[in-house]
Structure 1
Amino acid sequence: MNTLKYFSLLTAFVTVTIFAGCGQQSEPAMTPEEFARHVSDVIVNGTEFHFEPAVQEFEQDGVFMVEFPAGEQGVYYARSVITVEGVEDYDFGSQFALTYPAGTIKVQLNGEAIYSESSNSAGHFDNIDYGLFEYEDRFSVDLEDGEHQLSIKFTPRNTDVPNRIYFNVVRSDNGLSHPAVEAQAPSTEEELAGYGYWWVGPVQERVEEMEFMNPLLSPKELVTAEFTSVNGESVRWDLPKKHLVKSLPGWLTYQNWHYSGGTFLDAMNNVSNEFSSLDYSDYINQHMDFLLNNIEDIEAMREDYGLIESPFGHYFRFSLLDDMGMQTVPYVNRLIAQDEVDTDSEEYKLASRVTDYIMNDASRMPDGTFARFTPDTMSVWADDLFMASIVLLKMHELTGEAKYMDEVVDQVIKFDKYLLDEFSNIYWHGYFSENGEHSSTKWGRANGWTMMAKTELLLAMPEDHPQKEEIQEIFTRHSEGLLAVQSEDGRWHQVLDDPSTYLETSATAMFVRAFATGVTEGWLDRATYDEAINKGWASLTRQINEEGDVVGIVRGTPIFFSDEEYANWGTRRSDPRGLGALLYAAISVERYLDGAGE
């Protein structure tokens, strides 16, 4: 970095310190290159490319699964206990959600039949959002606080494969798991509690069902009961088989298929191109190949054991833009780097599958704006603008097809229409089509995702693009709103317009990145934004603790319904959701400083 660059930066920081009059540290603790190296090394050193053993759980992402093994024809029974606590605290009702395979099913709660059906084909079951599933059937149940005896009778049509029944008690308003309800095994003894249910079968049809479904039968009575199976052998109540499954090590799982990983891999690729002393290509390739080399085995494990949660889980959910967009960007980068694109490669097949889904099948508002099913039917989330845009812009770069950039331009304009608060020029986290209202809060990182998307779009748009001026106006207006709520520390608050909330690292990185790029590219006025960039950057470089972790990054955040909920939502050290933004910021500040004397 040249002397002129440092002199310009130092002059700005001295001015900031005098103006603030608070004696705070104002010089960056690291250069952009040093900071990029440190953050990248946090990622590399925190990644383990292997699996560890784990035990399959009865409850997965709020869903409970009962499995009857493959075997002979006959009748199977299962028993579990539904526990309810604090149900009166909620203003929504309870529904029992159920999917079952081909066969005849009867469900009882406290000895009363609540469901009885027969089907010649397997029921529909699909994971469509975080904690949200589509079931074959949902029906209202009246639950009071306490324990409720659940009994299931099932006669399968097909015994060549295991028969799996998925169930849950969900909210009547949006289908998410009811927070007052849990399911547990008939016995709460420590060594038995984790099994979730007991089962028996196959028994002869002529055996009286109340011998199995009587809610008054205690665990001691169940365990001593003995029945005759269809082939004349004795069968007893038993525990479900728990399968040994593969899991990812660590609590941050940098190696997983997750939008955060796609973001920091793209940023690390840019870091490798920007700084001659840094090269993370081996790590990036190892990360991508970890998925490609293991995805078929994980898919087989999921099918064999009926798993909902597993390594690369979002790859299989494949519903939200969170599940696919940014994760695919590194694979498109690999294709872009090739002299000739191999359309038969796994990378190309993946990129085509993802972008085809985004363009044609992703959930949308009637006017085409990307939307989700939660927390209300067809809700616009600010996050999704980034999740979809970058891979489409990369595909535009790879193929030259205008439709990809056109889609991003259209989404940027629509998101601005739905999320902009015209009074502050900053964005609400979400918009609910059900009632035509915004969500409660102007969350920092939500605004950051949209600024990142607009930055990438403007960088990709040719100067003569007919809508570049409109996109630039949207970018500038949003920048002005964000500039007005920056703290004296240089960071931005978790709730942007509430200075009582904590200062958050990832949103700060996103805004510094956008401002620095805006000044460098001439979209923003240098004199207006210099101080904000320098303060923000200096503060970012000080968000590393004594152990070397990046601090102040908020966890993954749903749309909440009050500023207080956002304020109480905590941070996690070196959370991967913010690390890519830090690397983008380092690159943008490096380029900004290179142009400081121009």
Structure 2
Amino acid sequence: MKVGFEIVGLVLFLLLSFGCKQSVKAPNEQEPLNPMVISDSLPWSERMALSVIKRHPEAWQTENDSVVKWNYKIGLLCTSFEELLKKTGNIKYSDYVEAYSQKVIDSSGQILNYRLKDYNIDMINSGKMLFYLYDKTNDERYLHALTTLRQQLKGHPRTKSGGFWHKKIYPNQMWLDGLYMGAPFYAAYNTRFENADKIDDIVKQFRLVYQNTYDQETGLLYHAWDESKQMEWADKLTGKSPGFWSRSMGWYMMAMVDVLDFIPEEHPGRDEIIGYLNKLSGALAKHQHNTGLWYQVTDLPNKEGNYLEASASCMFVYAFAKGHTKGYLPEKYYSLAQKAFNGIVGELVKIEEDGEIHLTQICGSAGLGGNPYRDGSFEYYVGETIKTDNLHGTGPFILAALSLDQ
């Protein structure tokens, strides 16, 4: 019997030892890779969103930064994910947004790396994603953050004519970009919490920018306007910047179709903005390349160094398609949007074997003034770094695909 017990004990010892050895990993041993495969049967919007998640499991990582930041580009991406949630009902997309928001907004509602007195209109944009999160969670942190951003607009410096400066460090300047960054949030907050008593002011922002950046010859809009006419890049008679940068007009186009969601039917400013949308759409249609895309510098397709740029093309698709669907633009613009999206997929999208997709030929960034100095010339715009999968492009790509139900 003793021998029998010893044999049984030895067997148990060996089994336990074997099991333990199987569960212990060497210090440098990693879990087996299990890469996400993205089906080509999914809509392009989801293929891009899942590709973003595959590359960056958390939204803050999408800027390829080592620290978490409140950032307008991540806000743009999160806005596109919220729209994707509405379309699909897949909480994967809202979870992605909420996880980011909880990292950049603490339990008291303080926003990470945000300084109200910088008066940077870019910082407003990410606030748009908080309306949904507040409704979903009823978490007061989101309401506090929304209120903080609204406070910024209340004290934000303005031109003498009443337009928001782009940033405190850019005095007296309105950039087309700033309309997307500030106006839709302003309108959403004002209609929800303030009885829509600032619609006139919101419409005025669009009017000031349109009237002071409009080019009579082309119908296009210059990137920016300096009311003081003191900036080195500004025309000394008009204050306009020197060139037509497509993405700046893309920001303005998206701002118009988004802000119209909040302007009451009976308000005269509604027709005013629809008028601007139609005029600029007509001008842009004349500059659409035969691939369906638009050049980085809109009006100089044959000049050496110019290139077909992804982010602006995606923004124009979104504005054209949404503009038609909402009844603001004639049907031809929906067709132009479809042509452009096909061009984006055919010319600028690269697909990996596992289904991950990449968007190429995205202008990394562009602006005016600053240090090092940016003069707004053709050479400046085409000389900025061209990137793949930059957030200026991936967020608008998802919105563009959704707007066409692609």
Alignment TM class, shorter chain as reference: 0.7 to 0.9
Query: Larger strand proportion, structure 1 or 2?
Result: 1
- Partners of 2:362 and 2:114 lie apart in 1 by 22
Q: Tell me the equivalent position of 1:261.
A: 74
Residues 285 and 469 (structure 1), Cα distance of their counterparts in 2 relative to 1, 3 Å cut: same
Is the Cα contact below 8 Å between 1:47 and 1:255 reproduced in 2? Answer: no
Query: Alignment partner for residue 579 of structure 1, among 383, 386, 394?
Result: 394
Query: Aligned equivalents of 1:48 and 1:315: distance in 2?
Result: 27
State the shift of 1:473 in Å: 0.8
Alpha-carbon deviation of 1:331? 1.4
**Alignment check: 8 A CA contact 1:443 1:495 kept:** yes
Aligned to 2:314: 509
Name the CA distance, whole Å, in 2 between partners of 1:549 and 1:317.
37
Q: Secondary structure at the match of 2:394?
A: helix
Within 5 Å, give how 1:108-507 maps onto structure 2. Answer: 251=64, 256-276=69-89, 279-293=92-106, 312-314=112-114, 318-322=118-122, 324-337=123-136, 345-358=140-153, 360-372=154-166, 377-399=171-193, 401-435=195-229, 436-499=238-301, 500=303, 501-507=306-312
Matched, 1:566 2:381: yes
1:210 aligned residue: none
Letter in 2 for 1:509: C
Partner-residue secondary structure (3-state), 1:545? strand
How many residues end up aligned between the 2 structures? Answer: 346
The amino acid across from 1:587 in the alignment is L
SS of alignment partner, residue 431 of structure 1 = strand
Q: 1:438 to 1:337 in 2, by over 3 A?
A: same
Q: TM-score, normalised by structure 1?
A: 0.53
**Per-residue deviation at 1:317?**
7.0
- The alpha carbon displacement at 1:373 in A equals 5.8
Tell me the SS of whatever aligns to 1:352: helix
Other structure's SS at 1:421 match = coil
Letter in 1 for 2:77: F
Residues 35-79 of structure 1 deviation map (CA, whole Å, 9 limit, x = unaligned):
11122123323335599xxxxxxxxxxxxxxxxxxxxxxxxxxxx
- d(CA) in 2 for partners of 1:489 and 1:252? 34
CA distance in 2, matches of 1:376, 1:252: 25
SS in 2 for 1:380: strand
The residue number in structure 2 matching 1:556 is 365
Q: Is the 8 A contact 2:318 2:399 kept in 1?
A: yes
Q: Using a 3 Å threshold, how does the CA distance of structure 1 residues 403 and 44 change in structure 2: closer, same or farther?
A: farther
> CA 1:252 to 1:553, structure 2 compared with 1: closer, same or farther past 3 Å?
farther
Give the drift of 1:400.
5.3
Deviations 1:297-351 (A, max 9, x none): x99xxxxxxxxxxxx54557742111x211211112222446xx66xx1111111
Distance across 2 between alignment mates of 1:50 and 1:581: 16
Give the secondary-structure state (helix, strand or coil) at the position aligned to 2:299. coil
Q: Once the 2 structures are TM-superposed, how far is the Cα of residue 250 of structure 1 from its aligned partner? A: 6.8
The 2-side partners of 1:459 and 1:519 are apart by: 13
Contact 2:59 2:100 in 1 (8 A): no
Q: What SS does structure 2 have at the residue aligned with 1:347?
A: helix
Distance 2:362 2:175 in 1: 19
* Alignment RMSD: 2.9
Using the TM superposition, give the Cα deviation of residue 295 of structure 1 relative to its aligned residue in structure 2, in angstroms. 9.5
Residues 335-368 of structure 1: CA deviation (Å, up to 9, x unaligned):
2446xx66xx11111111111211x211210111
User: Shift of the alpha carbon at 1:272?
Assistant: 0.9
How far apart in 1 are the matches of 2:321 and 2:300?
24
Query: SS state of the match for residue 556, structure 1?
Result: coil
Deviation of 1:278 after TM superposition, in Å, equals: 7.1
Question: 1:431-473 CA deviation, whole Å, 9 max, x = no partner?
Answer: 1223242111110110001101100122322322222111111
Q: What are the equivalent positions in structure 2 for 1:523-542 lying under 5 Å apart?
A: 523-526=328-331, 528-542=332-346
1:226-282 Cα shifts (integer Å, max 9, x gaps): xxxxxxxxxxxxxxxxxxxxxx79735795311011111111111111134674111
How far is 1:537 from its partner?
1.0
Deviation per residue, 1:401-443 (Å, 9 max, x gap)? 2134333212111111111112211110011223242111110
Point out 4+ residue stretches in structure 1 off by more than 6 angstroms. none
Amino acid at match of 2:208: K
For 1:397 and 1:43, the matched residues in 2 are separated by 33
The answer to whether the 8 A contact 2:292-2:343 is kept is: yes
Paired letter, 1:330: M
Give per-residue Cα distances to partners, 1:7-58, cap 9 Å, x unaligned. Answer: xxxxxxxxxxxxxxxxxxxxxxx78x6211122123323335599xxxxxxx
1:492 touches 1:508 (CA, 8 Å); kept in 2? yes
| Aligned mates of 1:461, 1:484 — CA distance in 2 | 29
The structure that has the greater radius of gyration is 1
User: What runs of 5+ residues in structure 1 fail to find an aligned partner?
Assistant: 1-29, 52-247, 300-311, 594-598
3-state DSSP of counterpart to 2:298: coil
| Residues 1:581 and 1:450: Cα distance change in structure 2 (over 3 Å) | same
Conserved? CA contact 2:359–2:393, under 8 Å: no
Task: Please name the residue that 2:36 is paired with.
Answer: none
**Structure 1: which amino acid aligns with 2:72?**
Y
Counterpart amino acid of residue 512 in structure 1: V
1:404 to 1:347, Cα distance in 2 relative to 1, 3 A = farther
Q: TM-score, normalised on structure 2?
A: 0.77
**What SS does the aligned partner of 2:69 have?**
coil
Deviation at 1:505, TM superposition (A): 0.6
One-letter code of the match for 1:558? G
Contact persistence 1:252–1:576 (CA under 8 A): no
